[in-house]
Structure 1
Amino acid sequence: MADFDKALAVGRPANIQRLFPNSKALIVSGKVIDRAMLAKGNALALAANGRNYFVIRGVLKAAQRANAAVIIEIAKSEGGQKSYCAVNYWNMARIVDALCNELGITVPVAIHADHYGIKNDKDLAAAKVEVPTMFEAGITSIAIDASHLPDDENLLANLAINPFIPAWAGLETEVGEIKGNQGLSTVEEAKFLIQGLNANGIFPDWIALNNGTTHGLEASDAGIQVGLTADIHKALAPYKVSGAQHGTSGNSSERLREIATKTRTTKANVATALQMISWGLEVNDYGNAQLDASGNFIKVKGEGVTEELWAEMVAHAESKGWKKGDYKNLNLPFENKLLAQPEAIRERMAKRVEDFAYKMITEVFNSKDTAPLAVEAILKASSADVGPKGSQIEDPAHWTESQIRERAKSLAGDKGPAGNFDD
């Protein structure tokens, strides 16, 4: 506790200190979480998409139980201006801080803005206004996702938005839009992005790839290509960037263990599985909700929401003509109804998430007992800013805008089909 108190005094970023001056919640930069995973080795931080209050509550309790550093996140599609969740970029830190203080959570927690999508010049202009507001509201880490754009535009968008991201914040970048086994990322594309950032003095903590997985409900067990991921990470080793694994729902525990042991990944996003578990649906080892013979989700009696409320949720989805992958849209219209359930129901929703998340942390992600390692990183730096892992290798004279555009012409990666692959 002495180390915790010291970390609390120096390890909370300025925005968190300003928002929560009397808090006992150790909300930290995403950089701290990455360092903890690296210190343990072959460890993945659970990055839980807090689509509802019960997911956040359950994950925080699991992290405390496992003594693990953890990330609570929300993506732009989930919690941006046009969102399908009540939890958003601007209230997530407040929810986490309140829960940490209520529950006596003492493990370090990062607040991550996941998949902040930039698809065009209009998005980029809006980002320069919006991103600062997110940090003002308690975000401590961000993923800039311009992977929808051509490689040169992706890099240039990352460069353009970087001045609006605090230097102390965790930073994730992405190459290759997440769209399953099509449009897979290549070594050349990943190196292009990281080298261009490096030349400009930007050292991301994580890079996310399209390495074969998808968001949401996985239709098959094809999933993550571990070999491709390892090859890309090996090529990026001189730049000391870790991997972020998206779309873990739909991948077996064994494949996720391989990601931990055979690649340089330190962050694993879990979204759909936690949502389904909180509602009380039956899921398999892959985190996929199971379907009955009629193609309907299987509600486990006495788990998650009440049977009556689940019937109402299903009826709402059917009235909208939603397919199974669209059930995520139930989050926003039903959040207050979920919060209005009796305490015993609310507690069992969070408990179900807690048990699943605890098992992931301890048996799959190998991140048990990483909380002290995160605290150690803070105390070593004696600051909320633990600094970059990498250093400048590339010559900025070789990475002007015109040279970036010319270099990109030599990249021949297949971007896969067009379409909306947001989660």
Structure 2
Amino acid sequence: MGINTDFEKLIEIGRPPNIKKLFPYSQALIVSGKVIDRALSVKGKAMTIAANGRNSFVIRGALLAAQRADAAIIVEIAKSESTYCPVNFYNLALYVDSICNELGITIPVAIHADHYGIKSEDDISFARMEIPSMFDAGVTSIAVDASHMTDDKNLLANIELNSCIPNWAGLETEVGEIKGNQGLSTVDDASFLIQGLNAHDIFPDWIALNNGSSHGLEASGQGIQVDLTAEIHKALEPYGVNGAQHGTSGNNSDRLREIASKTRTTKANVATALQMVSWGVEVNDYGNAQLDGNGDFIKVQGQGVSAEIWERMRRYAEEHGIKGGNYKKLNLPFEIFLCAQEEKVRKRMVKGVEEFVYHLLVDVFNAQGTATLAKEAILKVGSHEMGVKAKKIEDSDNWTREKIIERAKTLDVDKGPEGDFDD
């Protein structure tokens, strides 16, 4: 088959039913998160970006970078981000589809609902209604994050909500919030979650850990603990689950290369760095925005937003008591002003993100070529459904609700302080 014929086939068979229904005439190759995970697994010692699309400039830049790198990627938004960004679970697919068609993007892209937070059992009823609606809106992958609760309630929430998630969709589960070096995940609690899911015929593609990652604007602390991550991933290998790395801030390129090469991580979330790069704020190799002697962000002349808009943003932040990491709250009120800038400014905002993401994909994450591998996987299977990577190992009789509650009492874990949903 020729190239065009191959791509037409991919559009026909590779897009899941919700995407085909939403965008029947589209040429955007929006796929299940499982497709992305499989492609990175085939390449080995590689992970790809899960770009938090807080604004349209970030989404454009990430997609252009992935096209250049021939990398399969994920574009995501977290539940909490929808409170301060114009992008949310219900319009993310619209952004991605439109931009892919406009720019001729042909790499496979998954639409991921990150950190779908379940903070208490009271949230489950609403989640049973909302999750199907999110898939109706074009989500192709989801992270069920009940890690704020105790281990037994986390597992039980994942089990209860699984019937709301299509079998073909990418699935992430989480055992540790982002807490820096406190409340670190263990083989014990990670195994408890994955084994319990396995007993109920649930086979996640990814597990997110608290492995020392943190959020912040300056590199500090030990950062991601590679050996701990590798140890947990090794213990979970029979269950076919890979790693999702949250909180990449505070870790330089060498540390992230180690995560890609020494663990089973295939998905790496990047959020604040992309937002800052799109605005033209100086970002170091740790992905953290740089501060001057007065504690203010360093705006690079001739990059990102115009000097006039940056001054408006800075004044607004000052008037509203917004500092440091909370600059993220400028995304929503300033979206219209960002889009109103002249074309050359909008283009350089996108270009800054493109260059930053391209460097990550090619020089750090080893993701180049995975778009081709993802396409080959779809053609080989002949469907948008990738199936599961593991078999049922655990006996469901040993993982009833009552036994889950009792088992959880025996776990040797330290939950640490309250964590963070954002990346």
Superposed pair shares fold, TM > 0.5: yes
- The answer for the alignment partner of 1:339 in structure 2 is 339
Q: 1:279 to 1:93 in 2, by over 3 A?
A: same
Post-superposition Cα deviations, 1:30-63, rounded to whole Å, max 9, x if no partner, equal: 0000000011111101110000000000000000
Which amino acid counterpart does residue 367 of structure 1 have in structure 2? Answer: A
Equivalent positions of 1:238-317 (< 5 A) are 238-317=238-317
Q: Are the counterparts in 1 of residues 115 and 421 from structure 2 also a CA contact under 8 Å?
A: no
1:14 and 2:12 matched: no
> Which portions of structure 1, spanning 4 or more consecutive aligned residues, are displaced by more than 4 angstroms?
419-423
Contact 1:216–1:247 (8 Å) recurs in 2:
no
1:374 maps to 2:374: yes
Given residue 174 of structure 1, which amino acid in structure 2 is its aligned partner? E
**Unpaired segments of 5 or more residues in structure 1?**
none
Unmatched runs of 5 consecutive residues or more in structure 2: none
Give the residue type in structure 2 aligned to 1:350: V
Deviation per CA, 1:121-164: give whole Å up to 9, x if none.
22111111111111000000000000000000000000011000
Which runs of structure 2 are paired with 1:65-76 in the superposition (5 Å)? 65-76=68-79
Go from structure 1 to structure 2 and tell me whether the alpha carbon gap of 1:222 and 1:173 turns closer, same or farther (over 3 Å shift). same
**2: distance between equivalents of 1:354 and 1:375?**
22
Shift of 1:249: 2.0
Query: Who is 2:210 aligned against?
Result: 210
Give the counterpart letter for 2:245 in structure 1: Q
Which residue number in structure 1 is paired with residue 94 of structure 2? 94
Aligned partner letter, 1:75: A
Q: Which moved more, 1:243-252 or 1:213-222?
A: 213-222
Cα distance in 2, alignment partners of residues 316 and 265 from structure 1? 39
Q: Does 1:37 align with 2:40?
A: yes
Task: Name the aligned partner's letter for residue 40 of structure 2.
Answer: M
The root-mean-square deviation of aligned C-alpha atoms, in Å, is: 1.0
Give the drift of 1:323: 2.0
Q: Pick from 61, 66, 70: which aligns with 1:63?
A: 66
Are the equivalent residues in 2 in contact too, given 1:221–1:252 (CA < 8 A)? no
- State how far apart, in whole Å, the 2-side matches of 1:350 and 1:221 are: 31
Q: Which amino acid aligns with 1:270?
A: V
> What does residue range 335-414 of structure 1 map to in structure 2 within 5 Å?
335-414=335-414
* TM-score, with structure 2 as normaliser: 0.98
Deviation, structure 1 residue 412 = 2.0
User: Matched residues in 2 for 1:201 and 1:247: separation?
Assistant: 29
* Contact 1:173 1:207 (8 Å CA) reproduced: yes
Q: Is the 8 A contact 2:218 2:289 kept in 1?
A: no
Structure 1 residues 65, 422: CA separation in 2 closer, same or farther (over 3 Å shift)? Answer: closer
Aligned-pair distance for 1:419? 6.2
Q: Counterpart in 1 of 2:114?
A: 114
Contact 1:217 1:272 (C-alpha < 8 Å) held by counterparts? no
Check whether the contact 2:78–2:422 (CA below 8 A) recurs between aligned residues: no
Contact 1:221 1:251 in 2 (8 A): no
Is 1:155–1:193's contact at 8 Å kept on the other side of the alignment?
Answer: yes
Change (3 A) 1:160 1:218: farther
CA deviation after TM superposition for structure 1 residue 418, in Å: 3.3
Please give the secondary structure, in 2, of the residue aligned with 1:171.
strand
> Residues of 2 paired with 1:137 and 1:19: CA distance?
8
Q: What is the TM-score normalised by the length of structure 1?
A: 0.98
Q: Is the 8 A contact 2:248 2:270 kept in 1?
A: yes
Identity %: 67
The 1:131–1:407 alpha-carbon spacing in structure 2 relative to 1, beyond 3 Å, is: same
